[in-house]
Amino acid sequence: MQHTRQQNNESILQQLETDGFSYLDNFCEPALTTQLLSVSREITADIKRTLGKRQIGVGSRAGYREIVQRSPGRWDVPITPEQFSVDHTRMPWWPLITAVLGENAEHAFSGVVTSEPGSDEQFWHIDSPHETVEHASAHAINLFVALTDIPMLMGPTEFACGSHRLTNHLFNPALAVDQLLYQHTNTSPAMLKTAPEQATPVRHSSAVSAGSCLIFDDRIMHRGLANQTSKTRHLAYFSYKRQGYLPYTHFESTRSLFKS
Ligand SMILES: O=C(O)CCC(=O)C(=O)O
């Protein structure tokens, strides 16, 4: 399956349904991108100062409510829309979110993922598991905003095309849900094949420019690639869920940096 850049909302939604992800090129006004970047830098620096020399492992169970290390050198700091000073229902991506999740779609999480210079690629993973044996429409959608240009050497996000339909552990008992969700060395698009003649999902990644977005189904297999540059990569995220869906796999730590 070849992944191509789509231009209008209808074809973006179609691609989200078939490939599980789509690019929204130059989707944010420069002023919005600058604002998200400056808040991200400020809050991340503050939280990392508070973390100080405390070592935390990889994964949300090992982290704090305020910071999670998603893979070595890849830090996730939650930031609310209020802290970003944005009304997320007025963001350019909101019509796409409601088209998939309904008018009563809810904000689930937002924040920034920074990957340090020299940080390695992540293991492949999904963000939340399927809920039913039969394929259902998405229960959660993620929106990434590139806060600076992200050339290939800086490690953009890589996707396994169409894998949101193949990561269903309820349909395919060969899949272990914990290995799909958490950083696990054996997890890869090849494990999603259910028959020898079935093709392995095609991997896709691409350089993105500042202000461009990526929209994807929470169940797609994906990973952040290695940052081989000398600059930190900043990616803001806004995650949304269907009303009533309870996300339980994204931020699992209950401890706070400010109370330990
Ligand atoms: O850093 C990226 O590009 C993706 C990050 C990610 O998927 C995660 O941390 O769960």
| Structural domains for the chain | 9-244 (2.60.120.620)
* Identity of the amino acid at 13: L
Distance of CA 113 to the CA centre of its chain: 9
Nearest-angstrom CA–CA distance, 4 and 204: 10
> Which ligand 1 atom is at minimum distance from the Cα of 74?
1
The per-residue pLDDT for 1 is 58
Nearest-angstrom CA–CA distance, 125 and 188: 8
The per-residue pLDDT for 184 is 85
CA 130 to centroid of ligand 1, rounded, Å: 19
The per-residue pLDDT for 260 is 52
Residue with tokens 């990644």: 205
The residue whose C-alpha atom lies closest to atom 3 belonging to ligand 1 is 224
Supply 142's token pair.
């993620």
Nearest-angstrom CA–CA distance, 78 and 62: 15
Nearest-angstrom CA–CA distance, 20 and 27: 19
CA 113 to centroid of ligand 1, rounded, Å: 7
Q: How far is CA 112 from CA 17, 57, 87, in A?
A: 25, 18, 17
Taking alpha carbons only, the member of 172, 232, 144, 162 closest to residue 202 is 162
The per-residue pLDDT for 3 is 82
The residue whose C-alpha atom lies closest to atom 7 belonging to ligand 1 is 223
Pocket-testing residue among 61, 69, 70, ligand 1, by greatest number of atoms within 8 A of Cβ: 70
The per-residue pLDDT for 99 is 97
Query: In tens digits, what is the pLDDT along the chain, a chain of 260 residues?
Result: 578 887 799 999 999 999 999 999 999 999 999 999 999 999 999 999 999 999 899 988 889 999 999 999 999 999 999 999 999 899 999 999 999 999 999 999 999 999 999 999 999 999 999 999 999 999 999 999 999 999 999 999 999 999 999 999 999 999 999 999 987 888 999 999 988 899 999 999 999 999 999 999 999 999 999 999 999 999 999 999 999 998 776 777 779 998 75
The per-residue pLDDT for 247 is 74
Nearest-angstrom CA–CA distance, 65 and 22: 29
pTM (two decimals)? 0.95
Nearest-angstrom CA–CA distance, 214 and 222: 12
Pocket-testing residue among 145, 222, 232, 235, ligand 1, by greatest number of atoms within 8 A of Cβ: 222
> Which ligand 1 atom is at minimum distance from the Cα of 156?
3
The per-residue pLDDT for 6 is 78
Sheet holding 140-146, edge to edge: 21-24, 213-217, 140-146, 233-241, 106-115, 74-78, 68-71
> Which ligand 1 atom is at minimum distance from the Cα of 155?
3
Strand-pairing partners, residue 237, are: 111, 144
3-state secondary structure the chain: CCCCCCCCHHHHHHHHHHCCEEEECCCCCHHHHHHHHHHHHHHHHHHHHHHCCCCCCECHHHCCCCCEEEECCEEEEECCHHHHCCCHHHCCCHHHHHHHHCCCCEEEEEEEEEECCCCCCCCCECCCCCCCCCCCCCCEEEEEEECCCECHHHCCEEEECCHHHCCCCCCCCCCCHHHHHCCCCCCCHHHHCCCCCCCCCCEECCCECCCCEEEEECCCCEEECCCCCCCCEEEEEEEEECCCCCCCCCCCCCCCHHHC
CA 147 to centroid of ligand 1, rounded, Å: 14
